[in-house]
Structure 1
């Protein structure tokens, strides 16, 4: 059940929140959806789930707009707002009503409450829940129809360390079941932990759509220790490599692939003792790519 955005555009008056955005989110992996504040992430997710109408373009889940599926809760579940419920209702009452209106067996309610750890709180008034409990309640609602697709906006908010670990395992487990999982979060460490692909937007437009390895290794540097680092640098330079000598037979190499280093070294009769990939963290790469797309930037404190 792939998610597809096709030239997706959403304008509010003269302001374009999303601009000609196209991407595909495929089953079987967790995909991180990243962007600075005001980038259009939440608007895009609302468009995917049919909560807003696009100004232009299309948002599709399993080949159709979400709202056109005859049983939408069985197709996709979403968590976009932790205050989605009536505060005087219990999770059990809320979920039973949804199950009834979507022809979902009522036994599924207890299943999802147990899955998210709210079995003991299922009959309590939800208005008294902490943020972490509201997040678990929202996940139970998203999972009620046992959907093939999940669209989650900041699901880690309010969770304690145990809850964060539980959610990591849940999302990766759902992806392992060949479900489509799209997760937006500002917690880069959590996205780096679970996501195999990342989609990055800024000012409503696509900045990057890549595997996590491709994204974090963009512009990567190899630190190479060899018997003749100067000779290796000259040979790699002929392939377009950029080499920076560091002394002690060590140099930093960029602009070539790892296999190129081994091949050139063999051709030149140079012994390579060590090659270390100096990859970038997800946060470093994200900050570099989105530095021109930050809409809200605080001033540096002086003094």
Structure 2
């Protein structure tokens, strides 16, 4: 996959440059987090979020988030960008509770990106660091905060790391109860994820070992949690992707973090998710068990080829 700068990257970089010209020529006292001012930080973050959305839409590294994931991401990003206002309303304790969601989401993105993301960030880390210190030097030399704009690419590439660092910076010197509050939701989400993974494992075993798989699936559907997990299991690799993909061509169109979380716990890298059950058989079972659900998807990643023939 060619990572050629898109027109929107150049446009957004230009907008940020103009914004920094408007707001950044006069040096403010002190600094904010890693940057010269709070407004610079939020301009860079907002630009990085927009770029991340557009880039994923084009290359679909994470494909299309399922609806509940979109809602969670949207709510958190709005809260994150308006954090200064929101925390005055809800208080610091609740603020740290909510920021815990962002902590978990950012860690999940890094984990799901895996070795690809690690290599990508490592390759670019030296120029990003050099540009960062160059921007600090230029800001100091010319008594301005304008040159923070040079960090746009670095913030975009390292966005989950930046968010994690910012959240920890927020709570670093605060009392223990706030640090505990920050950890509550990540730990809770982790426990829920483990519970769902164990349940998913049992469902896979029940279906794969059944002589009448469709009947077993129908029984599973009586329970709402089992219904949800069974749909994910049968949809893996043709509806839901399970690993990041950097190659052009077809890939499963949807991303559900529940499945993404479960995969490394249930299967090694050498095996596809639920490899015991042939993908064509899973697809046929899906059509019979969930006849009301779509199996044809019009998405960017499915324009050229398909993994399996779909009627």
Report the TM-score when normalising by structure 2. Answer: 0.23
Greater fraction helix: 2
Name which one, 1 or 2, has greater alpha-carbon Rg. 1
Greater fraction strand: 1
